[in-house]
Chain A
Amino acid sequence: MKLTFAYWGNYTIAFIALLRTLGVDFISPEKTNTATIEEGAKLSPSMYCFPLKVNMGNYLSSIRKGADTVLMVTSLSGSCRLRYYAAIEDKALAEAGHKVDFIIFNQSYKDIYSKIKEISQASNWTIFKAVCIFLKKLRMIERLEKKAQYIRPREKIRGEIDEVLKWSFQELDEKHNLKAISVLEKEIYQKIREIEIDRNKKVPRVGIIGEIFTVTDNMVNFDIEKKLGEEGIEVHREMNISYYLKKILFPCKDWIMQRKIMPYLKSTVGGNGRDAIYEMLGYGEKNFDGIVHLLPFGCMPETTVRPILEKLHKQTGMPFLSLSLDEQVAEAGIATRIEAFVDVVKNHYFRKEEKS
């Protein structure tokens, strides 16, 4: 059995560490790129959502390298199409002549544990260690992403933080125990401290909301955080894997969220639909200067809530940009729209500054 899984932004490093520590035989997914996306889309049902097509592209390149089993986390209790990813992928791959097995993790800790145990046959101690390393790397990646969001608009020499980030992720991938990771962490933060930044610079803030995969995978969202950062905008984003893990662990979070969005939406609509409203309301309260909403083209939950987000945009006057992504979207088009949006955000921000 040779395992593989879908590429997922910088978090891929954490998943690789998990499998590596478990000692299973696996093939790391190739970084998502235009070619893998195109290949995946060709094999997928055309009306299906974009993340599935991206995943398919990842699997295909791993299958060529010998992978025969796909690991995937999904939501077997959700309301949207995510539930049928494995069924569709299995069918599409089989019809193209690839015989692969799927091991599906439901979004519950118990299910994840028992499946890991089954696949790896590892001792509980090894599993514990693997999970610790996974969580440690994951936390580090997420913290670094946040750091970069803050530094990008303020760094004196453009691109420094991204250099550090690139180096950090490479190094992180090569550290195999907690101690080495901690040492590296110190080194990374030392490097970050050395970056010269302008703390007093006036910087507008923009919140990124939307579907989890498109907001977190910089390969599918054309590195939007970097683009905005380099335009002098501080990006905030709540959605990441930890956010999700916490939601599973503390169901009350869901209740709090629903209570807050009650005047706008009374029910779940599947996926991350409600989160988008919740987060936008939060950014509004914090007086942000703009919202970017990212979604896979035609995503059922996100298109359902978009009119609500637009209403909030009209109510608050907070600039709003909704970008639907799929295999046909070209980077140039996205870049132009971001540029225009940045102007709106800056105008909004400076007018606000003048008033106060």
Chain B
Amino acid sequence: MKIGIPRALFYWKNPYLWEEFFKSLGEEVILSPETNKEIVIQGTKISDPETCFSMKVFFGHVFWLEGKVDYIFVPLMKSNKDKLEYCPKFFGIPDLAKILVKTPILTETFDQRKRPIEETLEKIAETLNKDQKTTRKAIAAAFAREKEKKAKEEHDFYKTVKSEKKKIVLVSHPYNLYDDYINVGIRKKLGDLGIETICIDEIPLNLGLKFSPEVKFHWEFGREIMQKTEEVLRYDIAGAIEISSFQCGCDAVLKEFVEKRFKQSKIPFLYLIIDEQSGDAGVQTRLEAFVDTLK
């Protein structure tokens, strides 16, 4: 069977996990391509005009898979392993995807306040008529792949922080940080300007660190970003850039406190809002200007 995974939104929260899981179950996985202009245009056309840019891109990816696969995988992500919630817009995506495409949607609710992720994965395997042994193996393989990725990230992080170059931390959701079309190639652009970039989610958490935030977010990314902001401030950072999707409701809250925290520590802060109109040139100019101000 062919299972399509949209390379957007939830995909970036656990890259490899889904892919590896379905592959190990013996299914053929088709990933939508890296975001491109057509996907963005299509997504913008079919989504609610007031929803966030990330959602529009996501639906563009879903639409790309239409007719190309037997199932499109769109999980209902509710809460993570720390029992914190995802953005409430995530709660609606399987039902909204069903409206947009005719291809059947493969979905299951990931609510780790109620059951661990393994059990939900088992349920999916059951839907696909897999036996227990195969399922267990597939879950193990998927987790192993994730762990590998985490270990590599940690390794890279410690290498980056030791670098002599100026370092900028990029604060955003993984679907903005790692989708280079969406973020207008910000990592490469900064690299060309002689800057090392650190993506906020790669920062390993030092569990010993005391953390008493001004607001206690119930959003998983909110808590994570505030915590990791605290963590990264212990390193030698030249500046911070926060990237938000246009019309991101959550970031309207989060940004206020992220910005405040960096400013308190006298770290220059740049706020970039991205949408389908973000142009290469405009971002380039702003980045250059920002880098110029760094000590």
Contact = CB atoms under 8 A, between A and B. Distances in A.
- The yes or no verdict on A and B being binding partners is yes
Interface of A: 45, 47-49, 79-81, 83-84, 87-88, 91, 264-271, 273, 297-301, 303-308, 311, 324
Contacts of B253: 48, 81, 84, 87-88
A153 B244 CA distance: 46
Identify the 6 closest CB pairs spanning chains A and B, nearest first. Answer: A270-B88, A47-B252, A79-B88, A304-B92, A300-B249, A267-B91
B256 A269 contact: no
B249 A49 contact: yes
Interface string B89-122: 1011011100110000000010000000000000
A303 B95 contact: no
Most buried by A among B109, B244, B253: B253
A273 B89 CA distance: 11
Q: What bracket does the count of chain B residues touching chain A fall in?
A: 20 to 34
B88 A269 contact: yes
B226 to A, nearest CB: 12
Contacts of B99: 307-308, 311
Contact of B109 (A266, A301, A303, A324): A266
A80 B89 CA distance: 9
Interface of B: 47-48, 50-51, 76, 78, 85, 87-89, 91-92, 94-96, 99-100, 109, 214-215, 218, 244, 247-253, 255-257, 260, 273
Contacts of A303: 48, 50-51
Given A265-B95, A297-B50, A84 B215 contact: yes
Given A304-B92, A308-B95, A308-B96, A267 B260 contact: no
Nearest to B47: A307
Contacts of B244: 47
Contacts of A298: 50-51, 247, 249
Contacts of A266: 76, 94-95, 109
Contact of A307 (B78, B87, B96, B260): B96
A275 to B, nearest CB: 14
A355 to B, nearest CB: 29
Contact of A88 (B92, B250, B256): B256
B91 A79 contact: yes
Contacts of A270: 88, 91
Given A45-B255, A298-B249, A267 B50 contact: no
Contacts, number: 96
Contacts of A305: 92
B266 to A, nearest CB: 17
A308 B94 CA distance: 12
Contacts of B89: 269, 300, 304
Given A47-B251, A269-B92, A307 B256 contact: no
B221 to A, nearest CB: 13
B249 to A, nearest CB: 4
Contacts of A264: 95
Contacts of A324: 50
20 contacts: A47-B251, A48-B252, A49-B252, A79-B88, A79-B218, A81-B252, A81-B253, A87-B257, A88-B256, A91-B256, A91-B257, A267-B76, A267-B95, A270-B91, A298-B51, A299-B249, A300-B88, A300-B250, A306-B48, A324-B50
A87 B91 contact: no
Nearest to B76: A267
A269 B250 CA distance: 13
Nearest to B51: A303
B100 to A, nearest CB: 8
Contacts of B85: 79
A148 B244 CA distance: 44
A87 B50 contact: no
A47 B248 CA distance: 8
Given A45-B255, A47-B251, A269-B89, 19 more contacts: A47-B248, A47-B252, A47-B273, A48-B253, A49-B252, A79-B85, A83-B218, A87-B253, A91-B256, A264-B95, A267-B92, A270-B88, A271-B88, A303-B50, A303-B51, A304-B51, A304-B88, A307-B47, A311-B99
Contacts of B256: 45, 88, 91
A80 B215 contact: no
Nearest to B98: A264
Nearest to A261: B95
A104 to B, nearest CB: 12
A307 B55 CA distance: 13
B78 A81 contact: no
Contacts of A311: 99
Contacts of B78: 267
Nearest to B255: A45
A201 B229 CA distance: 65
B121 to A, nearest CB: 18
Contacts of A80: 88, 249
Contacts of B247: 47, 298
A265 B96 CA distance: 8
B291 to A, nearest CB: 25
Contacts of B218: 79, 83
Contacts of B88: 79-80, 268-271, 300-301, 304
Contacts of B248: 47
Query: Which one of B89, B92, B215, B248 has the greatest number of beta carbons of chain A within 10 Å?
Result: B92
Contacts of B214: 87
Contacts of A299: 50, 249
Contacts of B96: 304, 307-308
A48 B256 CA distance: 10
